[in-house]
Amino acid sequence: MTKKVDSGTFLSMARQLPVIDVRSPGEFMQGHIHGAFNIPIFDNEERASIGTMYVQTGKDPAIKLGMEIVGNKFSHLIEEAERDAPGKEMLLHCWRGGMRSESLAWFFEKLGYCVTLLEGGYKSYRRFIRKEFEKPMKLFILGGMTGTGKTEILIHLAETGQQVIDLEALATHKGSAFGHLGQAEQPTTEQFENDLFNSWDRMDPGKIVWLEHESNKVGKVFLPEPFFNSMQQAPLIIVRLPVEIRIRRLISEYACYDKTMLEVSLLNIREHLGSLQTKLCLDALEKDDFETVAAHTLAYYDKTYGNSLRKRPPGTVYKLDFNTDDAVDNSTHLLDFLKTQKIYEH
Last residue of one domain, picked from the residues 102, 130, 158? 130
Give me the residues of the chain with pLDDT under 70, please. 1, 44-56, 58-72, 344-346
In a domain, 346, yes or no: no
Burial 160-190 (b: 16+ CB within 10 A, else e): eebbbbebbbbbbbbbbbbbbbeeeebbebe
H-run or E-run covering 90? strand 89-93
Phi, psi dihedral angles at 209 (to 5 degrees) = -120, 125
In a domain, 335, yes or no: yes
Helical pair 327-341 and 150-159, crossing angle rounded to 10 deg: 80
> Same structural domain for residues 113 and 200?
no
CATH number, domain at 197? 3.40.50
Work out the angle at residue 169's Cα, subtended by the Cα atoms of residues 267 and 180, and round it to the nearest 5 degrees. 15
| Domain total in the chain | 2
What pLDDT, on a 0 to 100 scale, did the predictor assign at position 75? 82
Sheet harboring 114-118: ordered strands across? Answer: 3-5, 114-118, 89-93, 19-21, 37-38
Closest CA to 222 of 171, 166, 165, 169: 171
What pLDDT, in 10s, does the model give residues 83-93?
999 999 999 99
> Same structural domain for residues 20 and 150?
no
Question: In terms of residue numbers, what domain contains 247?
Answer: 135-341
> Same structural domain for residues 161 and 96?
no
User: CB–CB of 210/157 below 8 Å?
Assistant: yes
What pLDDT, on a 0 to 100 scale, did the predictor assign at position 343? 76
In a domain, 87, yes or no: yes
CA distance 204 to 200: 9
In a domain, 319, yes or no: yes
208 to 157, 218, 317: CA distances (angstroms): 11, 23, 17
CA distance 218 to 172: 9
Last residue of one domain, picked from the residues 115, 130, 145? 130
Work out the angle at residue 40's Cα, subtended by the Cα atoms of residues 123 and 52, and round it to the nearest 5 degrees. 75
| CB-CB neighbours of 342 under 10 Å | 8
> Same structural domain for residues 162 and 274?
yes
Last residue of one domain, picked from the residues 80, 99, 130? 130
User: CB–CB of 93/14 below 8 Å?
Assistant: no
> Same structural domain for residues 142 and 110?
no
> Same structural domain for residues 103 and 80?
yes
Phi, psi dihedral angles at 61 (to 5 degrees) = -60, -35
The three-state secondary structure class of 330 is helix
| Catalytic status, residue 281 | no
Closest CA to 298 of 320, 277, 276: 277
Name the β-bridge partners of 223: none
In a domain, 177, yes or no: yes
| CB-CB neighbours of 61 under 10 Å | 13
For residue 307, give the amino acid letter. N
- Which DSSP category does 95 fall into? S
> Same structural domain for residues 113 and 145?
no
Task: Write down the catalytic residue from 94, 114, 256, 281.
Answer: 94
> Same structural domain for residues 163 and 103?
no
> Same structural domain for residues 258 and 312?
yes
